[in-house]
Amino acid sequence: MLTILRQKPYSKFRNPMTKNSLCALFVLSIFATASIGIAETPQRPPNVLFISIDDLRPELGCYGDTVVKSPNIDKLASRGTLFEKAYCMVPVCGASRSSLMTSIRPRHNRFVGGHIYTSREVPNAVPMHVHFKNHGYTTINNGKIFHFADDSPEGWSEPAWRPRAPGYALQESLDRRVRHQRTWGDVVIDHLIGPAWEYADVEDNFFADGRTLEKSLVDLRRLAEAEEPFFLAVGFLKPHLPFVAPKRYWDLYSAEDIKLPENFDRIPENAPRHAIHPFNELRAYVGIPDEGPIPPEMAKKLIHGYYACVSYVDALIGRLLDELDELGLSDNTIVVLWSDHGFFLGEHTLWCKHAVFELAMRVPLIFRLPGQEEPMRVGTVVEYIDIYPTLCELAGLPEPQENQFQGRSIVPLLRGEIDTEKRYAIGRYVTGDTIFDGRYRYSEFRANRGAGDLLSRMLYDHYTDPRENVNIVDKPEKAAIVEELARELNRVMQLTDPW
């Protein structure tokens, strides 16, 4: 039975006498004592399995997609709570992750780029992993959680671990690599970049994500024997470019499966030039045109590669969750699955992220609580800055310091309660600020990285135009909506804070 929050509240857990229900009771009442047939002793704090996936848009079976094969994430959703309208704060990896891990919003001068350090952007903030470690958790980071492995290192019980693995399997791909240099602020990225896709008949552990899984399985077995609760963060790189995955995942899809999006290579009607970018991230790869549109056949190959990488990571996540079950840890472990931002696959002429359209801002988010027996879908708008306060409430931890959280706990939504307060998702990228209220997405573009004069605006009605194909910001009948959303957007983005 699928419980939908908008229709009726979620309330079913296992029989009250079972161990799982005690864990569920703990999650919902926060450190309440168990009094059903056992001595009154506090329940052990819940573990947290924190799964990050890079560049994953919510194009999965559990989100209604009929092409992408994601059986393991779908299985997690069938035992957990899926958020249909979850949004990142910044559609670029480093800034998004830093905002999520601190529950602090971006500004025109904060959380701007992909290559940033949280510890430099908000040095006085207490990141999530630091807070959990300070409260007795063993905190471990395998793979990519922050953009840089050495960001906020004091919060990990062991040094953050990144796998060493080849980026390509075929000599042909290795031979085609060229040196590419990019500058982000004071950070210079200099590395070799090859073709945008590859498939080879290799094992899962040939690539970095397979090795991240293996390390995480070893850690789970070790943590299962420990007395302290754990916060295990596992960060997978795919489906980030290049779209490289073992051949068997490419073979899951046929050429007939791959369709170009309905709005492929078409800029939204009336969209301002500030909303569109030349997707230089993709153009850096060998074989991609330096300018102009991506040819349709090449686009289909890229989409095929993206899907293959999603299925590859899905298989790894399935093994991770199976191990959690086999070790008996699921009974007292909160699982959170998230991606840093969405992704374009040719829509609006765009590829990658770096824009304030829905496809870059909307993200998958799934929680599975201990003892949850039935799935639930939540249609309420939530933000990624809500994740940190939510995990604190579930674990019984206080706010790390006064007024740090700029998000708010979604535990009531996880309990199946109806949220009657108006919720917005507010984010930004460089010059653009955007707000979504569940129906309308309104965006403003300003000079000076968003701090200067208003340059242009967009408004899309998701009831009539969910793909955001026609900008209706100048329609007279939408003036009141524009005024309301602009007022709320600027109120939030101009709030003063100490960060």
Catalytic residues: 93, 147
Q: Provide the pLDDT for residue 24.
A: 37
CB 43 within 8 Å of CB 23: yes
- Is 189 inside any structural domain? yes
Q: Is 194 within the bounds of a domain? A: yes
Q: Does residue 387 lie within any of the structural domains?
A: yes
Question: How many structural domains does the chain have?
Answer: 1
What is the C-alpha to C-alpha distance for residues 335 and 99, in angstroms, rounded to an integer?
A: 20
Reply yes or no on whether the pLDDT at 31 is more than 50: no
- CATH code (residue 315): 3.40.720.10
Q: Find the domain containing 364 and state its range.
A: 3-424
Residue 66 lies in a domain: yes
SS3 state of residue 230 = strand
How do 243-246 and 197-200 pair as beta strands? Answer: parallel
Q: Is 344 exposed, middle or buried (0-12, 13-18, 19+ CB in 10 A)?
A: buried
Residue with tokens 């992750």: 97
93 touches 341 (CB < 8 A): yes
Q: What is the pLDDT of residue 422?
A: 84
The answer, yes or no, to whether the previous bond of 242 is cis (omega within 30 of 0) is yes
* pTM (predicted TM-score): 0.91
Instruction: Could you list the beta-strand ranges (E) of 113-177.
Output: 138-143
Least confident stretch, 16-25, 104-113, 305-314, 442-451:
16-25
Task: Please report, for residues 1, 64, 73, 84, 121, the alpha-carbon distance to residue 60 in angstroms, rounded to integers and kept in the order given.
Answer: 20, 7, 8, 12, 33
Would you say 385 and 407 are in contact if contact means Cβ atoms under 8 Å apart?
A: yes
Largest CA distance in the chain: 70
| Rounded Cα gap, residues 84 and 283, in angstroms | 31
Where is pLDDT greater, at 219 or 30?
A: 219
Among the residues of 354-425, which ranges form H helices?
358-361, 387-395, 411-414
- For residues 78 and 335, the answer to whether their CB atoms sit within 8 Å is no
Residue 468 lies in a domain: no
**Does the residue 179 lie in any domain?**
yes
- The answer on pLDDT for 477 being more than 90 is yes
Q: What is the pLDDT of residue 40?
A: 39
Residue 460 lies in a domain: no
400-405 long-range contacts, CB within 8 A, separation 24+: 400/125, 400/126, 400/130, 400/131, 400/134, 401/126, 403/497, 403/498, 404/102, 404/103, 404/104, 404/125, 404/126, 405/103
Question: How do beta strands 376-383 and 333-339 pair?
Answer: unpaired
- And the tokens for 127? 């990141």
pLDDT, mean of residues 449-454: 88
Which residue from 99, 131, 127, 124 is spatially nearest to 112, judged by alpha carbons? Answer: 99
Q: How confident is the model at residue 399 (pLDDT cuts 50, 70, 90)?
A: very high
Q: Over the chain, what is the mean pLDDT?
A: 90
Question: For residues 384 and 86, is the Cβ–Cβ distance under 8 A?
Answer: yes
Between vectors from CA 332 to CA 339 and to CA 387, what angle results, nearest 5°? 30
On whether residue 362 sits in a domain, the answer given is yes
